[in-house]
């Protein structure tokens, strides 16, 4: 298992990006109710404005995401799945990831920034819900 998550940038960046894009698609698809409809609408709008935005944004932010999660990776007890460790530290993990996306949104094109900002109030809940899948996707590649 790799000591540094940043090593994934050299060993399997495309695989990590692809798996995280699948996680994002699944999380959006799983949303229910009125807020779920808002998420799905904003997601579709972002993809319409820039096809492939999920993979390209994930690829662009991957170094910052991995750096943000490195302290949690370092503190993960042996034998504990990374997703479970992220859930156990959900506040820290979610805030670390949202710091990265907030920074990116501050320089995004207006239409993408508008879609992001419309969901930002509930973003932490969405990120926390995604942590098991995010952790599993990263660990899958880090364990190689």
Give 47-89 pLDDT, tens digit per residue.
Answer: 898 899 899 999 999 999 999 999 999 999 999 999 999 999 9
Quote the pTM value: 0.87
- The pLDDT of residue 1 is 46
Backbone angles phi, psi at 57, to 5 degrees: -70, -40
Position 4 pLDDT exceeds 50? yes
Q: Domain boundaries in the chain?
A: 5-142
Kindly list the distances between the CA atom of residue 138 and the CA atoms of 70, 101, 108, 109, in Å, as whole numbers in the listed order.
Answer: 11, 18, 25, 28
- The pair of structure tokens assigned to 48 is 């319409």
Kindly list the distances between the CA atom of residue 14 and the CA atoms of 65, 71, 75, 79, 125, in Å, as whole numbers in the listed order.
Answer: 15, 23, 26, 27, 27
- The pair of structure tokens assigned to 54 is 């999920």
Asked whether the beta carbons of 62 and 9 are under 8 A apart, the reply is yes
């Amino acid at each position: 298992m790799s000591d540094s998550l940043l090593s994934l940038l050299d060993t399997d960046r495309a695989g990590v990006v692809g798996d995280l894009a699948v996680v994002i698609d699944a999380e959006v698809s799983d949303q229910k109710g009125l807020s779920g409809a808002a998420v799905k609408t904003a997601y579709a709008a972002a993809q319409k404005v820039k096809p492939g935005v999920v993979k390209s944004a994930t690829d662009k932010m991957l170094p910052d995401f991995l750096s943000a999660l490195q302290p949690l990776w370092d503190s993960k007890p042996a034998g504990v799945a990374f997703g479970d460790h992220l859930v156990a530290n959900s506040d820290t993990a979610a805030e670390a990831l949202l710091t990265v996306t907030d920074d990116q949104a501050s320089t995004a094109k207006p239409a993408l920034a508008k879609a992001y900002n419309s969901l930002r109030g509930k973003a932490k809940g969405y990120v926390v819900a995604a942590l098991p899948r995010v952790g599993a996707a990263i660990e899958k590649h880090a364990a190689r």
